[in-house]
Structure 1
Amino acid sequence: MDIKQLRALLAVAETGSVTRAAETLHIVQPAVSRHLKLLEEDIGTALFDRGRYGMELTEAGEILVEYARRALQELDRARSEIQPNDAQVSGVATIGLLPSTSGLLAGALVSAVKARYPAIRLRITVGYAGHLQKWLESGEVDAALLYNPKTTPTIQAQVLLEESLFVVGPPSSELEPSHPVPFADLSQWPMILTSAPHGIRSLLEQACRDTGVTLNVAAETNSMDVQKTLVACGHGFTILPAIAVNEDVTRGLLRTAPLCNPELQRRIALALPNTRRMAIAVRCATALLVDEMKIAVERGDWPSARWLGE
């Protein structure tokens, strides 16, 4: 088993075709087929079902693909560390962003990395805090933004900003930014929430325990876009930060009001792994991410946010 065989495995798994995999890898088709054959002989079982609809992974193939992807990511990180001191910063940096922040930060981060470190290959992964933390611990992302994280033996966290949460309703609702909604009033409305135990859902459940309020959960989803669509269509209300709905409010698709009694706030932190060395490319990319977040807050592009970082 060697690196070329693993790269061929991933290319065929992603494209579903030996021909397209060969084009992606810039090698001839027989070479890809040979790599797969040698790999299957080494493993001792078939990795693909070769059918009329293309190459489909077997159960063994799915297992090997998961480990191969992680192994190649670690090799990419090692390669970026082993370079002359005067070499241009290069390598792969996989950054995890929260759905509510990705629209504001993704483009700015790509532009900043391209301008400052053009040899860094940036990968942006978007997910809820619970998923991002698991991916960070497993090595699938190098750094991630998380809600209210606590430093653990596997993760170190630097709190960067604090922002208020808002009630979000359909355009037919009477929500007004100048009229805060008491938390207890949420019990009167059907609520569209993220699935437990992620981010804002955890904050809401803690607030419910503190106040004795019971929410009427009409639907749960792991997609913020679905969450906002259901609210816009009149299926209920939700709780989100202003940054997540700013454009929708401007377009008249949603209405918002601040929460009170109690106010709900979330803290966003940059989380890094304690269990592995951080590559130069990752350190450079995360420094730019922090810079772009601070600029967004100071410029007023991040509504209701207060900068807490240095």
Structure 2
Amino acid sequence: MDIKQLRALLTIAETGSVTKAATLLHLVQPAVSRQLRLLEEDVGTALFARGRYGMELTESGQIFVEYARRALAELDRARSELQPAGGVAGVVTIGLLPSTCDLLAGVLVSNVARDYPAVRLRISMGYTGNLQNWLELGEVDAALLYDPKPSPTMQVQPLLEERLWIVGRPEAGFQADVPVDLKQVAGESMILPNAPHGIRSLVEQACASAGIELSIAAETNAMSVQKGLVVSGLGLTILPSIAIVDDVARGILSAAPLSDANLLRKIVLALPNSRRIPVAVRCVVELLVSQMSDAIKLGKWTTARWLADEPAPPEAKISHLKG
């Protein structure tokens, strides 16, 4: 078993085709087929079956692909530790929340290209549960999470806190300077993320404390669908302001901050405890944190309060960031 065989396996799994995999790997098709055959002989089982839509992973193949992906990710991290004389280099994968991607992704890519041209940046988008799982599995190097449950596998640093907003169509008449109490919308149809999404948990806790029962019209873990259903007039939703600032500016939606004291979400930076943090990861993380702080100072991240400069409990401090 060697790296070429593992790369062939993952590329076939991603494309569903030996021919397409060969093109991406810059190899002839028989060479890729041979690498797969040798790998299957080595592990003693078939990893693919030819299905209706091309090469489909067998149950054994699905298991093996997970380990192969992690193995190659670890090798990429090892290479990034061996810094070339030219400066910081390596592959860095950052996990971002859907509500933060539009504001952060483009600027982060530009800043990394400017400051660390030898760093190859990857951005993975997901909700807190997915991102935390990817972080623990080694599929992302650092991630922004909604205030997650404590875990021995990761270290966190609180970065910011922001109020949640009630969101509806323009005719709902919500205004940024007129806060709304959750009780005022208790009788409305609501479109919310599936449990146990972070915002859903906050809303449910606030409703339980206030003795409110919301009417859930639909549940979805796709933020674009969540907003689309509101635009279609199927209900109201609850989101952080950063997720809807452009929609409100274009007149597609109206929104107002919720006045309930416990409807605040906290975003933290999470790094793994189980492995070294390469120099390239530390550098990209520092750019990301600085960028988020600047977004608040410049008024681009409305209603957010910066927390990272406040004293953090010892277990939340990230010593790796400085060395």
**How is 1:207-286 mapped onto 2 (pairs within 5 angstroms)?**
207-262=206-261, 264-286=263-285
**How is 1:1-310 mapped onto 2 (pairs within 5 angstroms)?**
1-51=1-51, 53-83=53-83, 86-262=85-261, 264-310=263-309
Deviations 1:236-271 (A, max 9, x none): 111111110011111111111121243621111111
Question: Residues 47 and 58 of structure 1 are in contact (CA less than 8 Å); yes or no, is this contact kept in structure 2?
Answer: yes
Paired letter, 1:191 = M
For 2:73, what is the secondary structure of its paired residue? helix
State the distance in 2 between where 1:183 and 1:3 align: 55
Q: Which runs of 5+ in 2 are unaligned?
A: 310-323
Paired letter, 2:139 = E
Larger mean CA deviation between 254-263 and 202-211 belongs to 254-263
- The CA RMSD measured in Å over matched residues stands at 1.5
Deviations 1:5-54 (A, max 9, x none): 00011111112222221221122222111101101111222222235642
State the distance in 2 between where 1:36 and 1:251 align: 51
**Alpha carbons of structure 1 residues 32 and 261: separation in structure 2 relative to 1, 3 Å:** closer
For 1:68, what is the secondary structure of its paired residue? helix
Question: Residues 187 and 215 of structure 2 are in contact (CA less than 8 Å); yes or no, is this contact kept in structure 1?
Answer: yes
TM-score of the aligned structures, taking structure 2 as reference length? 0.91
State the distance in 2 between where 1:249 and 1:118 align: 36
State the distance in 1 between where 2:206 and 2:116 align: 43
Paired letter, 1:293 = M
Q: Which runs of 5+ in 1 are unaligned?
A: none
For 1:188, what is the secondary structure of its paired residue? coil
Question: Residues 83 and 89 of structure 2 are in contact (CA less than 8 Å); yes or no, is this contact kept in structure 1?
Answer: no
State the distance in 1 between where 2:53 and 2:234 align: 40
State the distance in 1 between where 2:149 and 2:221 align: 23
State the distance in 1 between where 2:67 and 2:156 align: 27
Q: CA deviation at 1:172?
A: 2.3
**Alpha carbons of structure 1 residues 236 and 41: separation in structure 2 relative to 1, 3 Å:** same
Deviations 1:120-175 (A, max 9, x none): 11110111112111211221111111112354311111111111111001122122
Identity within the alignment, %: 64
Question: Residues 142 and 285 of structure 2 are in contact (CA less than 8 Å); yes or no, is this contact kept in structure 1?
Answer: yes
Question: Residues 150 and 157 of structure 1 are in contact (CA less than 8 Å); yes or no, is this contact kept in structure 2?
Answer: no
* Alignment length (residue pairs): 309
Larger mean CA deviation between 6-15 and 147-156 belongs to 147-156
